[in-house]
Amino acid sequence: MKTPKRLLPLIEEGLIDNVVRQLMSGKEATVFVVRCGEELRCAKVYKEAAQRSFQQAAIYQEGRRVKNSRQARAMENGSRYGKKMAEEAWQQTEVDALYRLAHAGVRVPKPYICFEGVLLMELICDAEGQVAPRLNDVELTAETARRYHQEILHQIMLMLCNGEIHGDLSEYNILIDQHGPVIIDLPQVITASGNNEAAALLVRDVDNITRFLSTVATDLIGTQYGLEIWNLYKQGLLTPHAQLTGVVEAPTTVVDVDAVLDEIEQAYFEEQERLRRIAAL
C-alpha cells in the first residue's frame, strides 16, 4: 500500500521498513500494521485535535502535570505553541501509561517509541499469529463471557492499585489474544487521586464491560462491581485479587439535612467575604 504521509519520517529514520496495511481507524487515531526488520508491529497515528471525535479531553486532563510552568501557561492560553504542547502531552500520556501499567502487571501492548505523533508498539496477535480481535468481534459463550469479565476486572483493579483509571474502557478497546484480554487506547488515562471524576469514570468503565458481557452471561445483569471496586479503593482495602460480589449495600445512615444546609450557608458567606476583600484591594 502507499505509505501514509505521517509514517514517512519513521521510514526515513529507519524505525520502520514498510507499511503492510491499515488495521483500523477510530475516534483518536488510525492504526497501521508495519514491518520492522523481521517483526510486525503496530503504528498508531494520532489524529489532530480538530479531527478527533473525542470531545471530552478536559475531563481527562484534570490533575495532569506538564514539564514546566511555561508549557502550562501556554496550554492554558491556547496559543499555537500551547496547542502543540497539549497534543504532545496527550500522546505522551499513553506512552508513559503503557510503560507504567506493563511494569505493574497490566496486560497492555509493549511500547517502543513515540515519534512525530506516531506511537510504535507491539502488535497483539492471537494463537494463530493473526491480529487479535477486539472483544466486540469475539463469539462468546456464557462461560467465556464470565471468565473475560473476571479477567478484565482483575486488570482494572491492577490499574487502580497503581493509581490509574482507563477512563474510556469498552468492548472496542480490549483485544483478545491467546492468553485473554489486553487493554489498549490509553491517552485519556487519569490519576485516581487527582481527578474529581475518577469515581464516575471507574464505574462507567466497569459498567460498560459488564453491560456488554451480560448480553451473554445474563447473571451479570444488575451487578455493581464498579461501585464495589471504588468503595474498596476509598477504604484502602483494594488489592488486585480482592474477592468481589457485585453487590453493594445501600447506605443506612440518615442524612442531617440541616447540617448540610448550614455548611452551604457558611460557605456562601465565606465566599461573599472573600469577594469583598478582593474588591477592596
What are the extents of the domains in the chain? 5-234
Q: pLDDT averaged over consecutive 10-residue blocks of the chain (281 residues)?
A: 90 95 88 96 85 58 60 57 68 90 96 91 94 97 98 98 96 96 94 93 98 98 97 96 92 68 79 74 63
Cell of 152: 478484565
**Res 112: pLDDT:** 93
Cell of 34: 508495519
**Res 91: pLDDT:** 79
- Please state, in angstroms and rounded to a whole number, the distance separating the CA atoms of residues 235 and 255: 20
**How far is it between the farthest Cα atoms of the chain?**
73
Cβ proximity of 132 and 175 under 8 Å:
yes
**Res 170: pLDDT:** 96
Cβ proximity of 26 and 19 under 8 Å:
no
DSSP state, 208? H
Single-letter residue type at 174:
I
The kind and range of the H/E element at 40 are strand 39-46
**Res 82: pLDDT:** 59
Question: Alpha helix (H) ranges present in the chain?
Answer: 8-12, 57-61, 69-77, 80-103, 142-161, 198-213, 225-234, 257-280
**Res 67: pLDDT:** 58
**Res 65: pLDDT:** 62
CA atoms within 13 A on the CB side of 46: 26
- Please state, in angstroms and rounded to a whole number, the distance separating the CA atoms of residues 251 and 61: 32
| Helix (DSSP H) and strand (DSSP E) numbers for the chain | 8, 9
Measuring CA to CA, which residue among 149, 88, 139, 80 is closest to residue 116? 88
- Please state, in angstroms and rounded to a whole number, the distance separating the CA atoms of residues 25 and 138: 19
Cell of 102: 506493563
**Res 182: pLDDT:** 98
Q: Match domain 5-234 to its CATH number in 3.40.50.1820, 1.10.510.10, 3.30.465.10, 1.20.120.1200.
A: 1.10.510.10
Phi, psi of 65 (to 5 degrees): -105, 150
